[in-house]
Structure 1
Amino acid sequence: MYKLSGVIAGGMFIDGFILGGIGLVMPAMTSDLSLSATWQGLIGASALIGIFFGGPLGGYFADKIGRKPMFIVDLAIFLLGSAAQFFVADAWQLFLIRLLMGMAIGADYAIGWPLLVEFSPARLRGKLMAFQEVAWYVGYLLSYAVGYYMSTAIHADWRIILGMSTVPSLIVFLLRLGTPESPRWLISKGRVEEGMAIARECMEEADVRDLANEKSERPDFRKLFSPQYLKSTIFVCMFWVCNVTPYFAIATFSPIVLESLGVEDGLAGALLLNGVVVAGALASMFLIERVGRRKLSIPPMWIAAVALVVIGLFAHVSPIIILVCFITFSFFNAISTALTGVYPGEVFPTEIRGAGVGFATAFSRIGAAAGTFILPMSVEGLGVGATMLIAASICVLGAVISQYLAPETKGLSLSDTSAPMAKAALAKAAAK
């Protein structure tokens, strides 16, 4: 389980790694390639746009032909894209390369998360899935730290800084070779004996017994919008988009935002914020199986919203106040965002789990890409204060939606958390 969790977390680490460096090198890249504000936004959002398309495609193929083969193919594509960044000469080339890399990463969400959740024991499932978000933030932080050093200490070319993602991509690709197929997926395809053999070798006894609830069903993307699964689809999509939209908008351009608010060293301040984000994700990972999902998904979103409101209303009062509020937002936003790695894999059944995770991934990137693309223009046109208030309103929307739709799935078997069975199971758990 720890090995499988590690190699899937490797994909999340790489995703964070490629996104963490782009904001850091944006000034040098803008100067070298003579980028307009539009090209800055497009390149900043390119990987996110790729994830939008890659998530549903990866989920479709993961449900149709299996988790295992797609698990290797998508990372091979990403590895090639990483290496191609060393040779960029024009803005459109970088946009296309990072678009392709984003598609591979989007597919990895929809392949790796279902694979992990289908192997995980109920007592550890939340912690192992939340660890995926920790890995993402660590990748983002390390990319930022390495890029910060390379750009300030040795003045490395921005192509080299972006191309550094080739190193972790190659390592993770090699470690993934030999990963077993998901027993639940095999059983859903009628390959019961093969699935049970892998389950008895790799899964705990209670989870092996739970496989009796698996049925042979055809993948059908339309089920996500059927009466049985529609609420689950709405919840995971909106919860995810309301967490990541303000984060990506602020994190991608945090040096620029912090400097405009009076923080003298914007790069150092942004590096500090990324460290705080890792701490928040770790806190969520260690608390999730103790306090449950809802307590980590709803209150932190309200706290993050308040922090952004303070920034919006008092943007030019004191750099210290602004930095404290950004730290508060970063920590609590990371706590709730860690749940975006947990809920999508739990609330859908095996035959559409990949499709569900893929669609939620794609939907979340609409907001993330829009935030990344729009923020520099919003700051220029509306000012930092108004921009932060808009970000706060998105956090409020996510908190309200979570209050009404977020389920508590702590300790339940995967069969019990998957809609439409989840309603009865959750009612039973609440009665206890």
Structure 2
Amino acid sequence: MSTAPKARTASEDINEDIHDSGAFGWLRSLGPRGRRAFVGAFGGYGLDAYDFYALPLSMVAIAAYFGLSSGQTGLLVTVTMVASGVGGALAGVLADRIGRVPALIATVLTYALFTVACGTAPNYETLLVFRALQGVGFGGEWAVGAVLVAEYTSAHHRGRTLAAVQSAWAVGWGLAVLVYTAVFGLLEQDTAWRVMFFTGALPALLVLYVRKNVSDAPEAERQRHRKSSLGTFAAIFRPRLLRTTVFASLMATGVQGGYYTLATWVPAYLSKDRGFAVVTTGGFLAAQILGAFLGYLTGGYLTDLLGRKKNIAVFAALSALCIVGYTQVPTGADALLLVLGFPLGFCMSAIFSGFGSFLAELYPTSVRGTGQGFTYNVGRGLGAAFPALVGALADSWGVGGALVFGAAAYALAALALLGLPETRGRELAQLN
């Protein structure tokens, strides 16, 4: 006599075939619920990148429209990053208290709303305020999405799975460059930069998918319903986690200081220092973006193979070398500049591949959102000093000359690793 198959429990719906070593074994191992969470986090982070790049790609036009100095223009990115530090830390606590999915929805709606608002700004001061508010949502999305997916993933696949989420940044960046090329090619730049911001409404559509299809991992749901386990900032500064929080924040400061220095100023470097037109700038950025996408995916495999710390250390050194090489290309050697864009994008992105898994493995479930949100985004806020420094020096040194300060940020990241443990192979349940 046959019997109906037993209904699957929530815990059986994740981490299937954890030793599947195929090219997409990491995706199959997530199970149906985990794959839906992956789609939500991937979409959120990709559109997060799209909305972020609306500013760097439009900076030359904005500076001309409002009559800004390089320092004032750089401040727009700096205030975004500082606000993102606050927003990301708060979003992490929110994720521990109300759940990963509601927090993800809140961050996406926030950054979409205020990106659109930037397009309506009548003056520089208003744009600065709107950009800061956009930063609050921008800062929270990655930390919440990374935690959501990490909790569906086994230790065996966690590095490459979270790296695949990170690769969404290159997809969003590429989409932003395509839209930028079209918008600035068709419209006068005084209008084009506003239209670029208006297209930042796209992420709001993702919320409909997340609300209907995505849910928190079972263990996260159980922890959230225990009152004593709610995340607080005090918890990640208790003796047990203090060292981890301090050094993880310094590591994030260095990596993001270097990355956002490049993300902010390379478009301006190509446009102002090299004198490239819009279409030419888009083509040179395409080489960097292709390198970034492959860097995220390659770094994911390396972080599982070599370990979290070695992956970050290797690519910190390579990223610093690439910055120096890219900015020292002599005038007229445009073919070499195009070629160097690929390794620059590859290295500055591969270093991020281990971030999602590394930070998740440093904190227990009850404060994982708080710890990851705080360290990643405080690092982003403090890292804002590097692009601000480039902006302050760009008028006298040139953008290319000032960009070399990004290399110092990567040196800081490498030094911070000395205070952190290696976590490769650590199951998240061991931390509770």
One-letter amino acid of the counterpart of residue 98, structure 1: R
CA distance in 2, matches of 1:34, 1:262: 21
Match in the other structure for 2:180: 147
Q: Give 1:159's match in structure 2, choosing from 180, 190, 194.
A: 194
Per the normalisation by structure 2, the TM-score is 0.81
CA distance in 1, matches of 2:145, 2:93: 13
One-letter amino acid of the counterpart of residue 363, structure 1: V
Offset of 1:28 from its aligned partner? 1.7
Pairing 1:200-215 to 2, within 5 Å after superposition: none
Match in the other structure for 1:199: none
Offset of 1:392 from its aligned partner? 1.8
Q: Give 1:354's match in structure 2, choosing from 352, 369, 375.
A: 369
**RMSD over aligned Cα atoms:** 2.8
Q: Give 2:46's match in structure 1, choosing from 10, 13, 25.
A: 13
Q: Is the 8 Å Cα contact of residues 257 and 386 (structure 2) preserved in structure 1? A: yes
CA distance in 2, matches of 1:260, 1:87: 26
CA distance in 1, matches of 2:95, 2:140: 9
CA distance in 2, matches of 1:382, 1:142: 31
The 1:218–1:282 alpha-carbon spacing in structure 2 relative to 1, beyond 3 Å, is closer
Match in the other structure for 1:201: none
Offset of 1:11 from its aligned partner? 1.7
Q: Give 1:177's match in structure 2, choosing from 181, 192, 211.
A: 211
CA distance in 2, matches of 1:166, 1:67: 22
Offset of 1:94 from its aligned partner? 2.2
Pairing 1:30-429 to 2, within 5 Å after superposition: 30-155=63-188, 157-167=192-202, 169-178=203-212, 179-190=214-225, 217-258=229-270, 262=274, 264=276, 265-311=280-326, 318-383=333-398, 387-402=402-417, 404-416=418-430, 418=431
CA distance in 1, matches of 2:383, 2:207: 27
Q: Deviations over 1:263-292 (max 9, x none)?
A: 744443233222321221122234443444
Count matched residues: 393
CA distance in 2, matches of 1:278, 1:263: 26
Q: Deviations over 1:185-226 (max 9, x none)?
A: 3322456xxxxxxxxxxxxxxxxxxxxxxx953433223223
Offset of 1:176 from its aligned partner? 0.8
Offset of 1:102 from its aligned partner? 1.5
Q: Give 1:25's match in structure 2, choosing from 54, 58, 62.
A: 58
Q: Is the 8 Å Cα contact of residues 83 and 381 (structure 2) preserved in structure 1? A: no
Offset of 1:353 from its aligned partner? 1.0
Unaligned runs of 5+ in 1: 192-214, 422-432
Match in the other structure for 1:197: none
Q: Deviations over 1:270-316 (max 9, x none)?
A: 33222321221122234443444334222121122223344566666
Q: Deviations over 1:308-350 (max 9, x none)?
A: 3445666669555555445333211211122222222221111
One-letter amino acid of the counterpart of residue 170, structure 1: A
One-letter amino acid of the counterpart of residue 415, structure 1: A
The 1:58–1:303 alpha-carbon spacing in structure 2 relative to 1, beyond 3 Å, is same
Q: Is the 8 Å Cα contact of residues 251 and 270 (structure 1) preserved in structure 2? A: no
Identity percentage over the alignment? Answer: 24
- Match of 2:92, SS state, is helix
Question: Which shows bigger deviation, 347-356 or 179-188?
Answer: 179-188
Q: Is the 8 Å Cα contact of residues 54 and 107 (structure 1) preserved in structure 2? A: yes
The 1:303–1:73 alpha-carbon spacing in structure 2 relative to 1, beyond 3 Å, is closer
Unaligned runs of 5+ in 2: 1-33
